[in-house]
């Protein structure tokens, strides 16, 4: 099994402060983050929600590829985007929902089998499981 690590260094208060997210395990880069990039305009900076979207789209794609292959219909391609909503809720802010949109090329698969497999991938992908309690919608299309 593996562990993955990221670090955020933050300076200042919430509204005017800023930070840097570093992908430590992969040495994949450093990304600036601010409240404005989270709640207003990204302007070249990331947010926790964008990082969740990246993780979720990658995890779902891998899970779907695994399930399709195990079912005897390996995919030619899977393109997944994740939209993570963020906004006011109660006395603070929250992730308001996630929509996964996938377009896949899977030769020989029955469309109903594809839909069931995509739904199962959404349910069991580890990132989906980690986000239990958040509404996650799925739009799956075969090419």
Tell whether the model's pLDDT for residue 6 goes beyond 90. yes
Structure tokens that stand for 120 in this block = 């199962």
Q: Could you state, in order of their start, the residue ranges of all structural domains in the chain?
A: 6-39, 48-142
User: What's the pLDDT at 1?
Assistant: 86
Q: 82-126, pLDDT tens digit by residue?
A: 999 999 988 899 999 999 999 999 999 999 999 999 999 999 999
* pLDDT score, position 29: 94
Confirm or reject CATH 3.90.230.10 for domain 48-142, answering yes or no.
no
* Closest CA relative to residue 130, chosen from 41, 40, 63, 39: 63
Confidence tier at 45 by pLDDT (50, 70, 90): very high
């Amino acid at each position: 099994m593996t562990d993955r690590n990221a670090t955020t260094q933050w300076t200042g208060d919430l509204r005017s402060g800023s930070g840097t997210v570093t992908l430590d395990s992969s040495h994949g880069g450093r990304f600036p983050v601010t409240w404005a990039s989270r709640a207003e305009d990204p302007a070249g900076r990331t947010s926790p929600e964008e990082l969740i979207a990246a993780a979720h789209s990658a995890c779902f794609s891998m899970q779907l590829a695994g399930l399709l292959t195990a079912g005897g219909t390996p995919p030619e391609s899977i393109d997944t985007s994740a939209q993570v909503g963020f906004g006011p809720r109660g006395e603070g802010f929250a992730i308001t929902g996630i929509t996964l949109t996938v377009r896949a090329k899977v030769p020989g698969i029955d469309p109903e089998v594809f839909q069931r497999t995509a739904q199962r991938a959404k349910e069991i992908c580890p990132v989906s499981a980690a986000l239990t309690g958040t509404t996650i919608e799925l739009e799956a299309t075969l090419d």
